[in-house]
Structure 1
């Protein structure tokens, strides 16, 4: 009973694709060359063939074409040709194939059979006139013709197994490197979550507590409104911070008690910004269209970040915020346009900035499948524009336009 080795030429496992077809063509070409070589050996003795050789040698030649699929059967079909002494190359090739893909017991039995056939061919030529030296030569030739192909086949089998094990080892090492990289990323995310929770939440908690105390003690209604706005935004920031920390820690529990990020809340956002802002909000979408959470969040954050930038870099300027479906109804347009800052406006206190606001908006928009554009206007102002796909419309992530 023969067995096949993974990765060897005899592996019957299904495969597909150009590499597999190329290997099959190469194997077929080798089989044809081997058969032609064996046929040439037989043709050199064409005039000396007896009846027995004429019956067993041609089938042995044709059997070589099937040696990869039925190695043991092909060897058994070629051994009679070895016993006749007219065709030696074919059984040697069959022996090599058996040794390269079969178990050791099968190889031992096949080698013994080939050795016996070779001995038979050598001893039946002229047994009566043979000397001991001639018998010794026959034994040496039989060992060479049986052990030689068997040794080469087992060497090829060992080489194939070693190559497969090296491939498995390389794959295992690559997998280990990926796991190690994932573990390092998880540790870094946990460290970032811990630092954010221990530092940012501490300062936001103080802001919320002090603004609440100011609201309770301030006699001026305007101051009380400002204190309430500060307390509200700090509490909202704390809720969103808990949500972000949960994501970084891969936590299944997500904070849901914070202010929801909804386009319907844009009016509140604009009012609390305390800027000269005109909001044009149209939430009536065409029939069959809707915006998903990612689109809604991207639109809300675009307006929020844009108002923050106006407060930092163009305080006192007029701001026009437009949010609504496009004329074709397949995208949601978000545009925040502000004019130049008045020269009479006193600059406010310096606000820390990370310089990644617009970059983050662009990444968020592209992630949602939309396009993003931001730049200065000819009048000296600035415009931020995002186009986000609506559900029910063809949604394909595109690159941001320049």
Structure 2
């Protein structure tokens, strides 16, 4: 892996080159060097330190060094900084003419015939010397702008890709919602209708109670299905938050409508966050469903307790009193409870009790509701 050069190395190298040029200029013409020459050279080198922050003042501070002792490196570096910062060609042309004019002073001392015999060559040299840092600065300026544009294009394409994926997901959710509504609701509606008919026609009290429970459970299932279909159709849109979600206030109704001998003990604090309330509701719902399916005739206790840091929900059922019926199951219920609890930094523990029953315990950390 190639290591990148630290950002301070290049500026420090340029300042060192400018300082070396100033020192060599003074040593070459030591007999003609004055304190003013030394002062303007030092000022020009120090101006390069702040050229990124104040490019125009730094450029102006380097011009005396180019005129008097003939130190041209600071002026060239400062002119590059001006070009890298600004886009105005009027400003850059003016700075370039100032730099070219400043460079002409030391060159005019090379030969007395410079302005008569080599005027064209001198003009070309001065122009190219001043034009080079301007063009380099503009090139790097354009490169930075191009990099920003490419990053914007990349972000736009990524946003478009996410929107396409969201559109596909929304289409799949709508299709799933239609399937659930057309197939599941039809079957459950038939169960509710037949249970209601059985309740009216039968004279057996036990059968009448059973049919009433079946009808209530079917109605509740249709209501839950309607909420789920609405949630699927609204997913990915602002309407998602409008979909009704169960809270702890619905637990009592859930326990009473479970069609088993169940009771609710204890209560949760009012500061439980909404996500935790939904997790508790779904956990109790899954536990009571499993009691109905796998422990017919058993009773259950839903116990809610908490301390300063944790909230614990325990659902314990007694052993079944009659054989369980073979019902279809995807065996994803407990896995889903573990995943839901893990998202809230909680844990789910399940296992048999010593008397032959079963226990499910959900433990969640308490977090106050954000206002």
Distance 1:107 1:322, change over 3 A: same
| Structure 2 equivalent of residue 383 of structure 1 | 359
| Native 8 Å contact 2:25 2:69 kept in 1 | no
Instruction: Please tell me whether the aligned partners of residues 261 and 296 of structure 1 are also in contact (alpha carbons under 8 angstroms).
Output: no
* Cα deviation digits, residues 142-195 of structure 1 (max 9, x gap): 123112222222222222222222222222222222222233322222222222
Partner Cα distance (1:309, 1:26) in 2: 69
Cα separation, 1, equivalents of 2:20 and 2:118: 28
Structure 2 counterpart of 1:42: 25
- Aligned with 1:268 (options 242, 252, 256): 256
Matched position secondary structure for 1:362: helix
- Is this contact kept in 2: 1:242–1:255, CA < 8 A? no
Q: Match for 1:371 among 331, 341, 347?
A: 347
Pair 1:135–1:53, CA change in 2 (3 A): farther
Shift of 1:357: 0.9
1:118 corresponds in structure 2 to 103
Conservation of the 8 A alpha-carbon contact between 2:108 and 2:115: no
> Which residue in 2 is equivalent to 1:9?
none
The alignment partner of 2:53 has SS state of: coil
Provide the secondary structure at the position in 2 that maps to 1:249: helix
Give, in whole Å, the separation in 2 of the partners of 1:50 and 1:327: 85
Q: 1:170 to 1:380 in 2, by over 3 A?
A: same
Indicate the residue corresponding to 1:57 in structure 2: 41
Shift of 1:289: 6.1
How many residues of Structure 1 are paired with residues of Structure 2 in the alignment? 358
Partner of 1:105: 90
Structure 1 alignment gaps of length 5 or more: 1-21, 396-402
Q: Deviations over 1:232-279 (max 9, x none)?
A: 1111111111111222222465469x9996333365245x23xxx5x5
SS of 2:266's partner is coil
| Residues 100 and 153, structure 1, Cα contact 8 Å, conserved in 2 | yes
1:86 partner SS: coil
1:75 counterpart residue number: 59
**Are the counterparts in 1 of residues 70 and 103 from structure 2 also a CA contact under 8 Å?**
no
Kept in 2: contact 1:56–1:80 (CA 8 A): yes
What's the counterpart of residue 234 of structure 1?
218
> Does the C-alpha gap of structure 1 residues 92 and 253 become closer, same or farther in structure 2, counting only changes over 3 Å?
closer
CA separation in 2, counterparts of 1:82 and 1:327? Answer: 79
C-alpha distance in structure 2 between counterparts of 1:364 and 1:334, whole Å: 16
> Contact 2:247–2:274 at 8 Å: present in 1 too?
no
Question: Does 221-230 or 384-393 show the bigger shift?
Answer: 384-393
1:361 and 1:118 mapped to 2: Cα distance?
A: 79
Distance (whole Å) between structure 2 residues aligned to residue 82 and residue 232 of structure 1:
96
* 2:158 pairs with 1:177: no
**Mapped partners of 1:218, 1:370: distance in 2:** 47
**What residue ranges of structure 2 are gaps of 5+ in the alignment?**
1-5
- Root-mean-square deviation (CA), in Å? 3.6
CA positional deviation for 1:323: 0.8
Q: TM-score normalised to the size of structure 2?
A: 0.80
Q: Name the SS of the counterpart of 1:171 in structure 2.
A: helix
Which stretch of structure 1 is more off in the superposition, 231-240 or 218-227?
218-227
TM-score by length of 1: 0.75
Question: What residue is the counterpart of 2:3 in the other structure?
Answer: none
Q: Confirm or deny: 8 A CA contact 1:295 1:389 kept in the other structure.
A: no
- Between the aligned partners of 2:273 and 2:138, the Cα distance in structure 1 is 63
Maintained 8 Å contact 1:204/1:237: yes
In the aligned structure 1, how far is the partner of 2:146 from the partner of 2:228? Answer: 49
Q: Could you tell me how far apart the structure 2 residues matched to 1:280 and 1:47 are?
A: 103
Write the distance in 1 (CA, Å) between the matches of 2:243 and 2:46. 71
